Amino acid sequence: MKLISLCMIVRNEEKYLEQCLKSVAGLVDEIVIVDTGSTDSTKAIALKYTDKVYDFPWCNDFSAARNYSVSKANCEYILVLDGDEKLEEIDRNQLEMLLSNHSNEVGRVLLINRYTRNNHEYKSHERIGRLFSKKYYRYEGKIHEQITWCQKIMENIIYYNLPLVVEHLGYEGDLAKRKEKTRRNIQLLESENRQQPGDPYLLYQLGKSFYMEEDYKTACEYFEKVLSIDLKLDLGYVWDLVESYGYSLLNTEQYEKALQIWNIYDEFSSSADFVFLMGLIFMNNGKFQEAIGEFEKAAGMPECKVEGVNGYLAHYNIAVIYECLGYQEEAFLYYKKCGDYPPAIQKLQQH
């Protein structure tokens, strides 16, 4: 039974596209690829896996391109991937069972981002809606497009988690390469913001774009505009907004101002990533006992978004504090708790 179409929009994705299409071959019943103006070998790679490759003149509208790709699909259910992502295996029978039980809901994959910053490797993950029925859903928004109802049948979209892991390969690269990606997004977001001034999601995405290219001062300005609006905590981006704002303040050395985030601690303290951030804020303000308390709390929490904040990264910061305070034995014990984290190993070798 033909059930699932993979729908992709691509442009100059020759670096990763082969990995992406190899990873999904055999899982989906159809592959639809819409090219928005590639000048490399992207289309040639795509044609090795499907004859459903279409050209779509770029019109500065991601949703228009996404919806065009969906319109070319023959199957009811649409799986969306980007050209710099690859899929882990999943049991097809299990997937079909989930679809039959959640036919008008949106399935969320676990998206894993791997990247290197300041010679340290990081891994973060998030749940994101990527599988839906084209009978019920379409995309809206010219930039950072969102899944929305074709015709609303319920007040809110209901999401469910898929046992499906997607690895995002495109976060790597130096600052110059990352700026190439964010410049186009910023231009589109600024255009949208002029048409919808004060829209909190657009302001958040503008802040996030400047954050990604390490312009933390401008990122702070946009994040503060969003935080001045009364937002609901169930909006998915609010949690990332608060954490990104905190790191932007730290990166611009606004340490005392960052302490104000404590005022919303109760609302966000269920997140290990937020608790870890508070540890860093206390640490940078010389409040070492408070920092240790937050890192200890983060280390005891079961889940996190950025790998290590509920484990070796929290323990490493506690060790650094103890070492700075002259408590060498305690520092040594916490460095040992960091496992194979390279900076901790280096510290242990120095003892």
pLDDT in tens, 148-158: 999 877 778 99
- Which pLDDT belongs to residue 142? 84
**Can you tell me the distance from the alpha carbon of 170 to that of 10, in angstroms, rounded to the nearest whole number?**
13
The pair of three-digit structure tokens given for residue 293, joined into one six-digit string: 């308390």
Total-model pTM: 0.85
Calculate helix-pair angle for 200-212, 175-195, nearest 10 degrees: 160
**Can you tell me the distance from the alpha carbon of 23 to that of 332, in angstroms, rounded to the nearest whole number?**
43
- Which pLDDT belongs to residue 92? 86
- Which pLDDT belongs to residue 318? 98
Where does the chain have alpha helices with state H? 17-24, 42-47, 62-71, 92-101, 175-195, 200-212, 216-227, 236-251, 255-258, 265-268, 272-284, 288-299, 312-324, 328-336, 342-350
Domain 175-350 is in which class? mainly alpha
- Which pLDDT belongs to residue 213? 87
Residues of the chain with CATH 1.25.40.10: 175-350
CATH no. for 4-168: 3.90.550.10
CA distances from 32 to 35, 79, 119, 138 (A): 10, 10, 38, 16
Q: Which residues of the chain have pLDDT under 70?
A: 1, 117-120, 171-178, 351
Residues of the chain with CATH 3.90.550.10: 4-168
In the beta sheet, which residues pair with residue 30?
5
- Which pLDDT belongs to residue 143? 83
